[in-house]
């Protein structure tokens, strides 16, 4: 049944109806968290998986009805057992039916019939409980998967400017916090189950002794109000735990990434001290929240047992005063129901504590999903079929968020098709910022970039990226085979094209030395490869895209002299087929470039060929002398 519902959800999901009465819409909005991101997310998921919610709710309601009817039937059976067939005439609801059964089959049939009916009601209640819990389990698991998919989509769709502001540990904590959503769904189902059963118990108590039940209800209302402050404290402590938990995640991921540095500098004790403070803070907040949550059942159980003792005492004096021992079955049932109600009331308040504890985590996930992606701002509507003429920077300025000075300030230069243009300069001069702009990671703060006289901002992002191959200075490889790492550049590349790209990047030579060759798993962060091998692998990944424009950002920085010579030979071959823009620190790599641009503080200070720049006796000349000795 549930699989059929899931199939319907996945293929026939409809938007929420728009013609809901205003008062009902306001009630739903208020009940589900208002207009906050959390409220909107709850309503969206609630509507998508509404069939599971309806099944769970209806099953809980009928389970509560079955529980109440079971106790009513048992109470009547006890009264018949205590008072004989004379008690049949006193039954207001269903008395006529019992009278007919009594007249046809006798007293024993009436009693046994009541017991069998009670047993059937309890069996149905058990299976209805199972149905409600199964629906809640499906809802919890699928909503958790839905949130994980949405977070992944959100993080990959956010612009690089947005996503780069987060720490890696922070992002992983968001993913981990999705687990709290399934806990929350199951707790809400437990809350509804306990609440409906408690209401059914309340109705039975009213039927048995309405005066004493009124006292019970008033006491429960006051108790719930009194415990609100405790739940508020639980929520506050949970928020503190959440912040400490996130901080631990951030710091722990960072420390693991720098584990080599920690060992080589002998800083184990130092980093342990750094993270110990955060762990102690999280443990303290978590302990306080749990202590408060476990305090609630203890208070309720203490008050309840005192109440039961009082009710027994009152019942005893009523029976003694009225000399009406016919009330004994009802009094026994009353006490029995109170005891049955005790774990339910405890469960309601404990569940509210768990919900208060989990809600801050779900709210954080909702806030993340509510972020508006700026990626669309970096994608225009013009499809670039082919690259024909040139890339032109005109007075381009780029200032990164939360920085005092621009990385590029009024930068102007031109890259002609078929040229190999190099950009050099001291660290922090803005070289990599040029590559970041062309890779559509950032948008210009001022000025314009033109591609074949078309405004760069108006080019479709995917269309433009299809023309470029990028080799970044931060060479990242996946913990996968060499073949799949290169194929990541173009997913439909054949094995022959992958091998040819590796040969062009002079990576095939070292790949063939591995036992499994192209099927070799490179390890986490490519730890089975040297820095130069990873860089040649990254160049092969860029070349397999068969780009018309090749962007190399310090692509030879980790290469040894022999590998650098091989890459220079590869670039000499590629320069006749592709437009190449090289950011380089090693000037020997770009000595044969058609044009060299020297940057300083985000501006062009020199430009020309290698020979022309040496003749100018400026910055480039000084850099060349320093590197060549």
Q: Is the pLDDT of residue 98 over 80?
A: no
pLDDT for the residue 17 = 63
Strand order in the sheet with 446-451: 408-416, 390-398, 446-451, 454-455
Q: How far lies 1's CA from each of 6, 127, 479, in Å?
A: 9, 15, 40
Going along the chain from its start, the domains and CATH numbers come out as: 2-369 (1.20.1560.10), 389-628 (3.40.50.300)
Beta partners for residue 581, in sequence order = 421, 551
Rounded distance between C-alpha atoms, residue 451 and residue 435, angstroms: 14
Q: Write out pLDDT tens, residues 350-379.
A: 777 677 666 777 777 777 777 665 554 556
Rounded distance between C-alpha atoms, residue 450 and residue 194, angstroms: 66
- pLDDT, greater one: 620 or 182: 620
DSSP state string for 123-159:
HHHHHHHHHHHHHHHHHHHHHHHHHHHHHHHHHHHS-
If one counts every other C-beta atom within 10 angstroms of the C-beta of residue 532, the result is 22
b/e sequence 436-455, b meaning 16+ C-beta within 10 Å: bbbbbebebeebebbbeeee
Rounded distance between C-alpha atoms, residue 505 and residue 520, angstroms: 18
Q: How far lies 439's CA from each of 416, 455, 537, in Å?
A: 18, 15, 19
Q: Is the pLDDT of residue 128 over 70?
A: yes
Q: Which has the minimum average pLDDT: 204-208, 330-334, 444-448?
A: 330-334
- pLDDT, greater one: 162 or 482: 482
Q: Is the pLDDT of residue 24 over 60?
A: yes
**Residue written as token pair 């069996």:** 123
Cβ atoms of residues 468 and 443 within 8 Å: no
> What's CA 295's distance to the chain center, in Å?
31
Q: Taking residues 587-604, report their average pLDDT.
A: 86
Q: Write out pLDDT tens, residues 236-290.
A: 666 666 666 666 666 666 666 666 566 555 666 767 776 677 677 666 766 666 6
Beta partners for residue 607, in sequence order = 597
Q: Rounded mean pLDDT of the chain?
A: 76
pLDDT for the residue 11 = 47
If one counts every other C-beta atom within 10 angstroms of the C-beta of residue 148, the result is 15
Q: Choose among 396, 406, 491, 398: nearest CA to 441.
A: 398
Q: Which has the minimum average pLDDT: 225-229, 460-464, 520-524?
A: 225-229
- pLDDT, greater one: 578 or 321: 578
Token pair belonging to 586: 């090693």
Q: Taking residues 506-510, report their average pLDDT.
A: 86
Q: Taking residues 547-555, report their average pLDDT.
A: 85
Q: Write out pLDDT tens, residues 400-451.
A: 877 888 888 888 889 998 888 989 888 888 888 888 888 888 888 888 989 8
Q: Is the pLDDT of residue 524 over 50?
A: yes
Q: Is the pLDDT of residue 478 over 50?
A: yes
Q: Write out pLDDT tens, residues 525-540.
A: 777 888 778 888 888 8
Q: How far lies 544's CA from each of 69, 472, 496, in Å?
A: 72, 15, 10
Rounded distance between C-alpha atoms, residue 365 and residue 175, angstroms: 8
Query: pTM of the entire structure?
Result: 0.65
Residues 6+ apart with CB under 8 A from 498: 483, 486, 487, 518, 540, 544
568 confidence band (pLDDT: 50, 70, 90): confident
Q: Taking residues 67-84, report their average pLDDT.
A: 73
Cβ atoms of residues 238 and 289 within 8 Å: yes
- 579-583/420-424 β-pairing: parallel
Q: Taking residues 284-306, report their average pLDDT.
A: 67
Q: Taking residues 120-140, report their average pLDDT.
A: 85
Backbone φ, ψ for residue 591 (5° rounding): -60, -30
Rounded distance between C-alpha atoms, residue 139 and residue 50, angstroms: 9
């Amino acid at each position: 049944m549930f699989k059929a519902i899931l199939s319907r959800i996945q293929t026939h999901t409809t938007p929420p109806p728009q013609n809901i009465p205003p008062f009902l819409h306001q009630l739903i909005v208020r009940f589900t968290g208002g207009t906050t991101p959390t409220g909107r997310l709850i309503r969206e998921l609630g509507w998508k998986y509404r069939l599971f919610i309806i099944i769970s709710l209806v099953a809980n309601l009928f389970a509560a009805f079955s529980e109440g009817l079971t106790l009513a039937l048992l109470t009547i059976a006890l009264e018949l057992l205590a008072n004989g067939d004379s008690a049949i005439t006193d039954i207001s609801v269903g008395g006529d039916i019992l009278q007919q059964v009594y007249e046809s089959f006798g007293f024993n049939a009436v009693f046994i019939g009541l017991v069998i009916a009670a047993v059937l009601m309890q069996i149905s209640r058990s299976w209805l409980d199972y149905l409600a819990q199964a629906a809640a389990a499906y809802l919890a698991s699928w909503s958790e998967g839905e949130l994980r998919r949405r977070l992944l989509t959100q993080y990959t769709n956010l612009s690089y400017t947005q996503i780069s502001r987060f720490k890696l540990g922070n992002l992983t904590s968001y993913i981990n916090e999705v687990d709290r959503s399934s806990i929350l769904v199951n707790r809400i189902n437990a809350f509804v189950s306990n609440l409906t059963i408690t209401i059914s118990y309340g109705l039975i108590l009213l039927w048995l002794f309405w005066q004493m039940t009124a006292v019970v209800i008033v006491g429960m209302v006051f108790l719930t109000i009194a415990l609100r402050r405790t739940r508020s404290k639980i929520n506050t402590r949970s928020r503190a735990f959440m912040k400490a938990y996130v901080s631990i995640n951030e710091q722990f991921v960072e420390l693991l990434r720098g584990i080599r540095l920690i060992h080589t500098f002998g800083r184990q004790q130092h980093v342990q001290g750094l993270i110990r403070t955060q762990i102690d803070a999280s443990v303290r907040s978590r302990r306080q929240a749990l202590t408060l949550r476990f305090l609630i059942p203890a208070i309720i159980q203490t008050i309840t047992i005192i109440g039961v003792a009082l009710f027994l005492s009152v019942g005893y004096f009523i029976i003694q005063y009225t000399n009406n021992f016919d009330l004994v079955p009802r009094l026994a049932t009353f006490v029995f129901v109170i005891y049955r109600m005790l774990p339910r009331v405890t469960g309601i308040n404990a569940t509210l504590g768990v919900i208060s504890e989990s809600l801050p985590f779900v709210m954080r996930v909702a806030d993340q999903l509510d972020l508006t992606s700026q990626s669309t701002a970096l994608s225009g509507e013009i499809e670039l079929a082919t690259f024909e003429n040139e890339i032109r920077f005109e007075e381009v300025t780029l200032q990164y968020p939360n920085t005092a000075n621009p990385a590029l300030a009024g930068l102007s230069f031109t890259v002609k098709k078929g040229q190999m243009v190099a950009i050099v300069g001291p660290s922090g001069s803005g070289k990599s910022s040029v590559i970041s702009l062309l890779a559509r990671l950032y948008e210009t703060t001022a000025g314009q970039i033109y591609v074949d006289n078309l405004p760069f901002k108006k080019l479709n992002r995917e269309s433009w990226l299809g023309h470029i191959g990028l080799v970044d200075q931060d060479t990242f490889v996946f913990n996968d085979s060499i073949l799949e790492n290169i194929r990541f550049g173009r997913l439909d590349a054949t094995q022959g094209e992958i091998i040819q790209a590796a040969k062009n990047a002079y990576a095939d030579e070292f790949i063939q030395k591995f036992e499994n060759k192209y099927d070799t798993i490179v390890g986490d962060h490519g730890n089975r490869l040297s820095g130069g091998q990873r860089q040649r692998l990254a160049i092969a990944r860029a070349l397999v895209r068969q780009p018309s424009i090749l962007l190399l950002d310090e692509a030879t920085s980790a290469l040894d002299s022999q590998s650098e010579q091989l890459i220079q030979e590869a670039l000499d071959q590629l320069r006749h087929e592709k437009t190449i823009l090289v950011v380089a620190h090693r000037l020997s790599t770009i000595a044969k470039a058609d044009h060299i641009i020297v940057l300083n503080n985000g501006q062009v200070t020199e430009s020309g060929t290698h020979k022309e720049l040496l003749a100018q006796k400026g910055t480039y000349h000084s850099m060349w002398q320093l590197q060549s000795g």
